[in-house]
C-alpha cells in the first residue's frame, strides 16, 4: 500500500477514527499523522446524528481541506459524499438497498436515503443489502 507521508490540501486518503468529541473526530492517517474532522465536515446534514453513528476504529476516506499554521491538518468526510441538496436530475449515483416496499425501494446513499419507485425498476428483483446504481429523476 502506498503511504503519502506528507499529505497536503486536496489529497484524499484513508483515515481511522482514534477519538470522538462533541465537536468532531480525531483521525489517524496512513503515515501515522493525526488530523481532525470538525462536526460540520462530517456530513452534509444531521451532523450530530452521523457523529453518533461513527465509532472509534472505523475506517473511511477523507479529504485534506486545510493546513493550519502549526502544521495540523483539518479533513472532511463530507466533501467525498453526495450532497442531497444539490444532486441534479440525470446524476448517476450508487447506493445500497436499505429496505423494500410495495411502492419501491429505500436506498441508502452516503448519509441519506432516497426512494426508487417500483415503476422505474423494470421488474428487477432487489433485496436488502443489494448494491444499486440509479439516475436522479427528481430531487425534492
pLDDT one-digit tens code per residue, 75-129: 999 999 888 888 899 999 899 999 999 899 999 888 888 998 888 787 888 999 9
- For position 44, which CATH number holds? 2.40.50.140
For the cut 50, the answer to whether the pLDDT of residue 1 exceeds it is no
- Same domain for 34 and 68, yes or no, is yes
| Residue 72 shares a structural domain with residue 101 | no
Task: State yes or no: pLDDT of 17 exceeds 90.
Answer: yes
Q: Do residues 69 and 110 share a domain?
A: no
- At residue 75, φ and ψ (nearest 5 deg) are -125, 170
Instruction: Evaluate whether residue 127 is within a structural domain.
Output: yes
Q: What percent of the chain has pLDDT over 90?
A: 55
Residue 3 clears pLDDT 60, i.e. is over it: no
- Cβ-contact 40, 48 below 8 angstroms: no
Higher pLDDT residue, 33 or 123? 33
What does the mean pLDDT of the chain come to?
A: 90
Asked, for residue 1, whether it belongs to a domain, the answer is: no
In a domain, 5, yes or no: no
pLDDT at res. 63: 96
- Specify if 20 maps to a domain: yes
109 in a domain, yes or no?
yes
Q: Output phi, psi for 80, to 5 deg.
A: -100, 5
Same domain, 41 and 100: no
Residues 69 and 104 in one domain: no
Q: Which domain holds residue 106?
A: 92-135
User: Is residue 87, in this structure, part of any structural domain at all?
Assistant: no
Give the count of domains, the chain: 2
Residue 68 lies in a domain: yes
18 and 57 both lie in a single domain: yes
Q: Same domain for 108 and 62?
A: no
Q: Is residue 123 part of a domain?
A: yes
Amino acid at each position: 500500500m502506498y503511504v503519502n507521508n506528507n499529505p497536503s490540501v486536496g489529497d484524499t486518503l484513508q483515515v481511522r477514527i482514534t477519538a470522538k468529541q462533541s465537536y468532531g473526530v480525531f483521525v489517524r492517517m496512513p503515515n501515522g499523522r493525526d488530523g481532525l474532522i470538525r462536526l460540520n465536515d462530517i456530513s452534509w446534514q444531521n451532523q450530530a446524528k452521523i457523529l453518533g453513528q461513527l465509532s472509534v476504529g472505523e475506517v473511511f476516506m477523507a479529504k485534506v481541506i486545510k493546513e493550519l499554521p502549526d502544521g495540523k491538518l483539518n479533513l472532511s468526510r463530507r466533501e467525498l459524499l453526495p450532497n442531497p441538496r444539490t444532486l441534479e436530475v440525470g446524476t448517476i449515483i450508487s447506493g445500497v438497498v436499505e429496505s423494500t416496499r410495495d411502492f419501491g425501494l429505500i436506498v441508502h446513499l452516503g448519509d441519506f436515503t432516497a426512494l426508487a419507485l417500483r415503476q422505474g425498476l423494470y421488474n428487477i428483483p432487489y433485496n436488502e443489502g443489494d448494491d444499486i446504481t440509479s439516475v436522479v429523476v427528481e430531487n425534492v
